[in-house]
């Protein structure tokens, strides 16, 4: 099972927080271990958010389109650690 799907952006420079889109079935421990293994950093905290489907009004024959449900993980790193996306991707 692929846990990390893609990184979104860096939230705060001071807190070293990063946002990733992750698999819907992944828990916080799996996300933390995957970040440690892939980026070689120490993770302080993991918060998750499930973003549910939303109806969008588009001019189509069906009328409404639905977006997919996805899960975000907000990763806070220990002091002195950072992720360099250009090097790792």
Is residue 43 a contact partner of residue 36, using CB atoms and an 8 Å limit? yes
Task: Please tell me the pTM assigned to this model.
Answer: 0.79
| Higher pLDDT pick, 88 / 74 | 74
Instruction: Using DSSP, state whether 3 is helix, strand or coil.
Output: coil
Tell me which residue has tokens 């979104």: 8
The Cα angle at residue 48 between residues 54 and 38, in degrees rounded to 5: 115
Is residue 81 a contact partner of residue 16, using CB atoms and an 8 Å limit? yes
pLDDT of 46 > 80? The answer is yes
Domain ranges of the chain: 4-88
Question: In percent, how much of the chain has pLDDT > 90?
Answer: 45
Which two three-digit tokens encode residue 17?
């927080």
CATH top class, domain 4-88: alpha beta
Question: What pLDDT shows up at residue 12?
Answer: 62
Q: What is the mean pLDDT of residues 28-48?
A: 94
Question: What pLDDT shows up at residue 58?
Answer: 67
Size of the chain in residues = 89
pLDDT of 60 > 70? The answer is no
Which of 38, 26, 48 has the alpha carbon at shortest distance from 83?
A: 38
pLDDT of 10 > 70? The answer is no
pLDDT of 9 > 80? The answer is no
């Amino acid at each position: 099972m692929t846990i990390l799907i893609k990184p979104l952006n860096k939230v705060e420079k001071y807190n070293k927080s990063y946002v990733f889109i992750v698999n819907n079935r992944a828990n916080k421990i799996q996300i933390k271990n995957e970040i440690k293994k892939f980026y070689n950093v120490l993770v302080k905290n993991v918060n998750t958010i499930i973003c549910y489907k939303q109806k969008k009004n588009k001019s189509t024959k069906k009328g409404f389109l639905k977006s997919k449900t996805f899960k975000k993980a907000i990763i806070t790193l220990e002091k002195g650690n950072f992720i360099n996306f250009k090097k790792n991707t």
